[in-house]
Amino acid sequence: SAVISQKPSRDICQRGTSLTIQCQVDSQVTMMFWYRQQPGQSLTLIATANQGSEATYESGFVIDKFPISRPNLTFSTLTVSNMSPEDSSIYLCSVEQGAGANVLTFGAGSRLTVL
Amino acid sequence: ILNVEQSPQSLHVQEGDSTNFTCSFPSSNFYALHWYRWETAKSPEALFVMTLNGDEKKKGRISATLNTKEGYSYLYIKGSQPEDSATYLCAFTLNTGNQFYFGTGTSLTVIP
């Protein structure tokens, strides 16, 4: 299965700043997914990143807050903009693999704390 | 909103004990049920994916069952070991799309 390198693994950020999370996959994939897990909540899909087109955002998430880049088939970034304490979460990137009932492969996550 | 519920939220067991968790999901338009293990500071790791009612999967001391008619899955760990300590997530997908809907997880701590 694919191996995903994600960084940073954790960071402490000041309110109002922005942080970019990077994910590198060791193989070419069509779609990459960005998830968030707020404390005590479930993993929630933020957006799907496709190479060569704009990301598709889920309800409640907007491009201005979470801009995404997908410059090639092995790399993507997610920026958390103008952070507030409510953005303190674990952010994960993932790819889907398999045939039929696909399985998600994840990066190790980026744990962000916003002060 | 599609609700996936996992219980218990957390539990502590002694090394050697067997334990089980529950995942409840909407039964309509069901396609697949997934279990993941998520250890601290690591990537969530896929354990099982099940699609058919009555499916049972096993991986070493861990096994899972699926009831799609009533909308639940059980994960069993036999003879828990400290290395089993992790958060166990379930997720389901619909036959109308490929989005994964996750539960909040069950946090397991195995005490040596």
B47 touching chain A per CB within 8 A:
no
pLDDT tens digit sequence for A76-93: 999 999 999 999 999 999
The dihedral over CA atoms of B21, B24, B27, B33, expressed in degrees to the nearest 10, equals: -50
Token pair listed for B18:
């067997």
Asked if the model's pLDDT at residue B98 lies above 90, the reply is: no
User: Where do the DSSP E strands lie in A26-102?
Assistant: 31-37, 44-50, 56-57, 68-72, 75-80, 89-97
Token pair listed for A72:
């090639």
Rounded to whole angstroms, the Cα distance separating A45 from B108 reads 24
- The partner residue sitting opposite A103, judged by closest CB among B31, B49, B101, is B49
Contact list in B for residue A102 (CB cut-off 8 A) is 98
pLDDT tens digit sequence for A16-47: 999 999 999 999 999 999 999 999 999 999 99
Sort B6 into a burial class: Cβ within 10 Å, 0-12 / 13-18 / 19+: buried
Asked if the model's pLDDT at residue A107 lies above 70, the reply is: yes
Which chain B residue lies closest to A10 (C-alpha atoms)?
B41
Cβ atoms within 10 Å of A74's Cβ, excluding its own: 18
